[in-house]
Structure 1
Amino acid sequence: MRRGDVDAVLQLERAVYLFPWSARIFHDCLRVGYHAWVVTDDAGRVLGYSFLSIVLQEAHILNICVAESERGRGLADQLLDIMIEAATAARVESLMLEVRPSNRAARRLYKRRGFTFLGRRPRYYPASEGREDALLLCLSLVDA
């Protein structure tokens, strides 16, 4: 992902999430050097993107987003593969993430890919009716 992709990424973010990241968050993620990828079609339309933070032996998935029209085609798996490869290349021992309990598709993806439950972060996410907890998940990369 490059700075020039942020406007299109922001459009997708706003289309998919009730509480989207701001343009400033995307720019800050790129400015501080988080790993970021964007998937486009042949016409250059953004179909998905992801952000990964790597610090020492731990990596944290900050965001994976796929356009609703493209879901079920394996793009989230592809983005996850790229992030696992980057984390493995950086000799990361574990890959962490938070996910909404209500995001069943993401929870199925992470379970299928071997992530395990570590705990719950109460009232982590904004929600239509107050706040929603986050499930903290981890994938060990030590034997990957």
Structure 2
Amino acid sequence: MNPVFSPLTPQNSDPYFELHKLGQFSPWSRKIFEDCLTKPYFAYSLDQDSQPLGYYIGMTVLDEVTLMDIVVSPSHQGKGLGKSLLQHFMSQCDQNNIQQIWLEVRESNATAIDLYDNAGFILVEQRVNYYPSVKGKEDALIMCCYLG
């Protein structure tokens, strides 16, 4: 059976909040996570056989979207699911006439940076000491993809 995308809402978010906590060094609170599942945000989950594989959250402002979070279950990483999630996200943006997609990523997250590079994102800016990390702080890379 193929993985299925479904809208992610506060009502069905429990397993995805657990994935969020696994996928982040400093995760959001439950309240912030649930707030990010209401407008102007949009979110989709990816499941197979009722098993949560991953999700993404975007925030729309006019004709721009920011990719707020994208997570693949640790036990399913390396199988192309991040690419599937990003493609679905970008397709949703395209269907809604979005002109630009923005994101920020930890400079140490080479896998994600490679995914974004291959999807057409370009590096716009580097924020020094932006993210908390095991070693104190690490830089954030600000990336953008122009659609249409």
Q: CA deviation at 1:5?
A: 2.5
CA distance in 2, matches of 1:35, 1:79: 13
Q: CA deviation at 1:138?
A: 0.7
Please list the CA deviations of residues 65-111 of structure 1 after superposition, one character each: whole Å capped at 9, or x if unmatched: 00111112121111111111111122111111000010010011011
Please state which structure has a larger fraction of its residues in strand.
2
CA distance in 2, matches of 1:16, 1:92: 27
- The correspondence for 2:64, drawn from 58, 64, 73, is 58
Q: Is 1:67 aligned to residue 73 of structure 2?
A: yes
Contact preservation (8 Å) 1:62, 1:97: yes
Q: What TM-score does the superposition give when structure 1 sets the normalisation length?
A: 0.91
CA distance in 2, matches of 1:32, 1:127: 30
Q: CA deviation at 1:17?
A: 2.1
Please list the CA deviations of residues 15-67 of structure 1 after superposition, one character each: whole Å capped at 9, or x if unmatched: 2222112211111112334110111120x221101001111121110011001
Q: Is 1:100 aligned to residue 106 of structure 2?
A: yes
- CA 55–32 in structure 1, closer or farther in 2 if over 3 Å, else same: same
Contact preservation (8 Å) 1:53, 1:61: yes
Contact preservation (8 Å) 1:6, 1:23: no
Report SS of the residue matched to 2:131: strand
Cα RMSD after superposing both structures:
1.3
Contact preservation (8 Å) 2:40, 2:60: no
Report which stretch shifted further, 15-24 or 55-64. 15-24
What is the 5 A alignment of 1:13-28?
13-28=20-35
**Which residue is equivalent to 2:37?**
30
Aligned residue type for 1:109: L
Aligned residue type for 1:79: L
CA distance in 2, matches of 1:123, 1:52: 24
Q: Is 1:91 aligned to residue 93 of structure 2?
A: no
CA distance in 2, matches of 1:117, 1:15: 26
Q: What TM-score does the superposition give when structure 2 sets the normalisation length?
A: 0.89
Q: How many positions carry a matched residue from both structures?
A: 141
Where does structure 1 lack aligned partners over 5 or more consecutive residues?
none
